[in-house]
């Protein structure tokens, strides 16, 4: 779909998903790394063996459908090569600190002189300018500043983030949206575009209904652990089952069905079937209408019932009843989940060192222009000759001058 | 009409694009909102029963429930026109067909198979509109043994592994806030629809997009999944700790439930933290000089660090640490976000006038494009607010045709 377009991906671990999404959608992506490699090459988890900069599974996860080159942007030759590549590209995506690229002459103003129709996307923690633009940050601190932590976790303990880092993935994925939106605008105006992605504002949207809640209802939402408080009544979401946990909302048809199961197993009296209109039981709480059995009483047999069944038993029962009960799966259990297998989701990917792994697959099925993985993540500088020789006609000496020596040089991300 | 516009669509990148949104809850409406906020003419189709779950979900204006008072619905349906249709009536289906013939993009989030039963499936849509782009989003995808599993984003978040990794090791999973996977899928699908539109612009070809919210969300645990397959490690919830850096956590500050997060990611930042605290005796412990040492004495560091933070205002802790370039950020709630100086600088929250709840703040765009102001352009529709506008102005139905549709029960 995006096959006419070329993307220069200058991001490090704080944005690599952006260009991968565009690559999955068909764009020709050239990943540009400093000679010492992207920061993501040094991020856990790692393969047990292999060359130091080719072992990161974090890097492997977010760099497919990209060719890879190194450019030493601290030198004139590297900077010139980037400008030459910009002339032949449609998108540039970077995740440097504010003003860092313009300090090299490679910011938006510099690149638009090379290409008057370029779409330039910059991913930063808080945006290009403003009082927080230069704050030191991490996944945890951006999640804190954006709001989701205030509503996550047990009320008796500290707020929590999702334990696996999420911030740069949200920011990267939304940067792909910003890139294509700006591209649509470029098609209208004919002018180069600058997209300023703030990870903080991206993460504010992960709070769903909580962001402006104070101005609407006069109070903030609070952490409620494994309970939901959006229906005006506190509803249990997470349940202990025989082999772990499941989630469901005790509401409408799901509640009606689970109460029936309790009666069938003798955990609740037969009269319960007639005592309540279970379909509207939780809504009655919202509207302040009376109920026969208080919620706490109802939850006792339900929790006892769920303890007697496994997560997959409950899932199968839910499907046959047309209700919603979901297992709390671990990543390991997901590798065996038959829905994903039967949809052919996992893709066999070659890891460095002749190994293979089943990797997460394509993110959607397109009927006329199927996405595909055309290449797996590049080794450091793998396509230096291919890109600089092939696209720009560079000689081997010019390539070496522009690319630097892989594994060397020093300009990592400071502060 | 379009009198509600606070920002005209002219000059926005999707001006002229037509989107019909038959979906509900968060994922589908987010995609339609994306195009609508950036200039598209988007029609949100609803049925009065069952009502969109978001219309009965908090927060309600002034705490009073009502179908037009939910700001959860409001946030995800800005810049759209609202029409009610009863798809159980032939008259309702007839109007739906007019919408499919009108639209460039058709979004739906029913349980797989439902659109065909309702008479608005892809084949029907394509017969009315050969180059239509149809997005079907649901938990498990359109095919496979579990395609029929309905549910919300917290079900998908639970199955996609996010509950397992959110909370504390010694407690059942807390899970991320509400429907977490609903916050992931829209990024990918908005991008996919824009790519499909660009393809259509160049080739005239439309298509159908089958999206599983589970399959999309797994990319956000991709390194952990690969680690499981390659190294046999299964990630679980661990509060705010990191397997590779310490100390890291939310530390208690002065006041009721106030916290500052601190993340020391390397040895230099540890030195910065020591300086910010005036290097107390406990912090001079040589075992804390390396990441490995700090990881293995995390509890001890946390106890001391918590004592240092707990008699300080959370902003003071953040400023002391930021002065030494240590990542630190306060845990902000809605009431903090609404006065956050950085969000204010970006003009993030903006007030829009809603027919029933008046002028209230709405969350703004996740990115800014230099030189133009995207939406949200106007507030979400009240139930059925634009029935007449949609039928008459957008679909060009005559007064007689509209009268027949109403008599036939089309609008519910």
Give A34-64 pLDDT, tens digit per residue.
999 999 999 999 999 989 999 999 999 999 9
- pLDDT at residue number B7: 65
What residues of chain A lie within 8 A of the CB of B188, using their CB? 21, 173, 176, 363-364
Residue A83 has pLDDT above 90, yes or no: yes
Residue B363 has pLDDT above 80, yes or no: yes
CB contact under 8 A, A205 and B183: yes
Residue A415 has pLDDT above 50, yes or no: no
Residue B407 has pLDDT above 50, yes or no: yes
Residue A408 has pLDDT above 70, yes or no: no
CB contact under 8 A, A193 and B370: yes
Q: Which of residues 180-239 of A touch B (CB under 8 A)?
A: 180-185, 187-188, 193-198, 200-202, 204-218, 220-223, 225-226, 228-232, 237-238
pTM of this prediction exceeds 0.95? yes
Residue B64 has pLDDT above 50, yes or no: yes
What residues of chain B lie within 8 A of the CB of A143, using their CB? 261
Which has the closest alpha carbon to A271: A291, A250, A251, A293? A293
Look at phi and psi of residue B293 and say left if phi exceeds 0, alpha if psi is from -120 to 50, else beta: alpha
Q: Which of residues 161-180 of A touch B (CB under 8 A)?
A: 161-164, 166, 169-170, 173-178, 180
What residues of chain A lie within 8 A of the CB of B162, using their CB? 162
Residue B237 has pLDDT above 50, yes or no: yes
First to last CA, chain B: 23
Burial B277-302 (b: 16+ CB within 10 A, else e): beeeeebeeeebeebebbbeebeebb
First to last CA, chain A: 39
Mean pLDDT of A379-389: 97
> Nearest-CA distance from B78 to chain A in Å?
14
CB contact under 8 A, B220 and A4: no
Q: For B178-221, where are the alpha helices, taking DSSP H only?
A: 185-203, 213-217
Beta carbons within 8 Å of A27's beta carbon, 6+ residues apart? A2, A3, A5, A6, A7, A19, A90, A91
Query: How many CB atoms are located within 10 Å of the residue A161 CB?
Result: 31
What's the CA gap between A38 and B176, in Å, rounded? 30
Q: What is the ipTM of this complex?
A: 0.97
pLDDT in tens, A154-171: 999 999 999 999 999 999
B282 touches A at CB < 8 Å: no
- pLDDT at residue number A407: 63
Structure tokens at A389: 């020789």
Mutate to test the interface with B, among A123, A343, A353, A362 (most CBs of B within 10 A): A343
B13 touches A at CB < 8 Å: yes
What residues of chain A lie within 8 A of the CB of B53, using their CB? none
DSSP H or E stretch at residue A126: none
Q: Which of A60, A145, A230 sits opposite B330 (nearest CB)?
A: A145
Q: Which residue has the tokens 């959608």?
A: A25
- pLDDT at residue number A414: 36
What residues of chain A lie within 8 A of the CB of B335, using their CB? 214, 220
- pLDDT at residue number A144: 98
The SS3 of residue A71 is: coil
What's the CA gap between B159 and B144, in Å, rounded? 15
Q: Which of residues 354-383 of B touch A (CB under 8 A)?
A: 357, 360-372, 374
- pLDDT at residue number A287: 81
The SS3 of residue A360 is: coil
- pLDDT at residue number B372: 86
pLDDT band at A412 (very low <50, low <70, confident <90, very high): very low
Q: Which of residues 106-145 of B touch A (CB under 8 A)?
A: 122, 140-145
The SS3 of residue B252 is: strand
pLDDT in tens, B149-208: 888 878 999 999 999 999 999 999 999 999 999 999 999 999 999 999 999 999 999 999
What residues of chain B lie within 8 A of the CB of A44, using their CB? 223, 243-244
What residues of chain B lie within 8 A of the CB of A183, using their CB? 194, 198
């Amino acid at each position: 779909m995006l096959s006419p377009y070329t993307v220069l991906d200058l991001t490090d671990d704080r944005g690599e998903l952006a260009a991968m999404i565009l690559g999955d959608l068909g764009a020709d992506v050239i990943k540009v790394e400093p000679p010492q490699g992207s920061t993501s090459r040094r991020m856990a988890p790692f393969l047990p063996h292999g060359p130091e900069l080719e072992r990161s599974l974090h890097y492997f996860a977010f760099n497919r459908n990209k060719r890879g080159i190194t450019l030493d942007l601290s030198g004139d030759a590297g900077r010139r090569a980037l400008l030459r590549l910009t002339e032949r590209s449609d998108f540039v995506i970077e995740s440097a600190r504010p003003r860092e690229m313009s300090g090299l002459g490679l910011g938006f103003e510099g690149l638009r002189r090379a290409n008057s129709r370029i779409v330039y996307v910059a991913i930063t923690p808080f945006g290009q300018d403003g009082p927080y633009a230069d704050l030191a940050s991490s996944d945890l601190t951006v999640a804190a500043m954006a709001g989701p932590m205030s509503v996550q976790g047990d009320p008796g303990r500290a707020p929590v983030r999702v334990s696996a880092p999420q911030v740069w993935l949200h920011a990267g994925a939304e940067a792909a949206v910003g890139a294509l939106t700006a591209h649509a605008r470029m098609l209208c105006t004919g002018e180069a575009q600058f997209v300023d992605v703030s990870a903080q504002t991206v993460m504010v949207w992960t709070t769903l209904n909580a962001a402006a809640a104070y101005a609407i209802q006069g109070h903030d939402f609070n952490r409620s652990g494994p309970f939901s408080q959006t229906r005006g009544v506190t509803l249990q979401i997470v349940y202990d089952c025989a082999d772990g946990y499941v989630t469901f909302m005790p509401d409408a048809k799901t509640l009606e069905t689970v109460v029936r199961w309790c009666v069938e197993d003798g955990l609740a009296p037969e009269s319960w079937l007639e005592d309540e209109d279970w379909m509207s039981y939780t809504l009655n709480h919202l509207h302040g209408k009376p109920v026969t059995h208080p919620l706490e009483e109802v939850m006792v047999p339900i929790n006892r019932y769920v303890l007697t069944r496994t997560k997959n038993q409950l899932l199968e029962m839910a499907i046959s009843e047309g209700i919603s009960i979901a297992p709390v799966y671990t990543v390991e259990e997901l590798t065996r989940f038959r829905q994903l297998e039967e949809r052919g989701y996992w893709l066999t990917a070659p890891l460095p060192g002749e190994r293979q792994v089943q990797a997460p697959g394509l993110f959607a099925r397109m009927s006329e222009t199927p996405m595909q993985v055309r290449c797996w993540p590049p080794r450091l500088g793998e396509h230096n000759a291919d890109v600089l020789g092939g696209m720009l006609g560079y000689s081997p000496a010019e390539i070496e001058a522009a690319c630097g020596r892989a594994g060397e040089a020093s300009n990592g991300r400071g502060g | 009409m379009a009198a509600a516009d606070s920002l005209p669509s002219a000059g926005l990148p999707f001006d002229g694009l037509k989107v019909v949104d038959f979906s509900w809850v968060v994922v589908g409406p987010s995609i339609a909102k994306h195009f609508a906020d950036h200039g598209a003419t988007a029609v949100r189709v609803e049925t009065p029963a069952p009502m969109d779950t978001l219309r009965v979900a908090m927060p309600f204006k002034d705490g009073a429930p009502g179908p037009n008072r939910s700001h959860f619905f409001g946030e995800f349906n800005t810049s759209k026109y609202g029409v009610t249709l009863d798809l159980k009536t032939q008259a309702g289906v007839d109007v739906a067909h007019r919408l499919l013939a009108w639209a460039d993009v058709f979004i739906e989030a029913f349980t797989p198979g439902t659109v065909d039963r309702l008479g608005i499936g892809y084949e029907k849509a394509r017969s009315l509109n050969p180059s239509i782009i149809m997005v079907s989003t649901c938990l498990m995808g359109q095919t496979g043994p579990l395609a029929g599993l309905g549910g919300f984003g917290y079900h998908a978040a639970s199955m996609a592994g996010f509950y397992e990794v959110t909370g504390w090791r010694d407690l059942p999973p807390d899970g991320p806030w509400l429907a977490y996977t609903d916050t992931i899928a829209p990024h990918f699908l908005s991008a996919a629809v824009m790519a499909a539109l660009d393809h259509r612009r160049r080739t005239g070809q439309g298509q159908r997009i089958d999206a599983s919210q589970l399959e999309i969300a797994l990319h956000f645990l991709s390194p952990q999944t690969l680690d499981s397959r390659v190294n046999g490690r299964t990630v679980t919830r661990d509060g705010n700790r990191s397997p590779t850096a310490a100390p890291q956590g939310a530390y208690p500050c002065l006041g009721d439930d106030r916290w500052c997060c601190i993340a020391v990611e390397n040895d230099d930042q540890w030195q910065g933290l020591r300086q910010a605290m005036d290097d107390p005796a406990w912090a001079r412990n040589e075992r804390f000089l390396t990441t490995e040492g700090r990881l293995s004495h995390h509890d001890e560091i946390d106890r001391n660090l918590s004592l240092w933070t707990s008699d300080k205002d959370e902003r003071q802790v953040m400023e002391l640490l930021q002065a030494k370039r240590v990542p630190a950020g306060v845990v902000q709630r809605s009431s903090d976000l609404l006065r956050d100086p950085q969000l204010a600088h970006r003009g993030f929250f903006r007030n829009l006038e809603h027919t029933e709840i008046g002028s209230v703040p709405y969350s703004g765009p996740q990115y800014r494009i230099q030189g133009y102001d995207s939406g949200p352009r106007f507030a979400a529709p009240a139930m059925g607010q634009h029935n007449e506008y949609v039928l008459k102005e957008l679909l060009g139905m005559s007064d007689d045709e509209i009268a027949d549709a109403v008599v036939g029960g089309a609008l519910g």
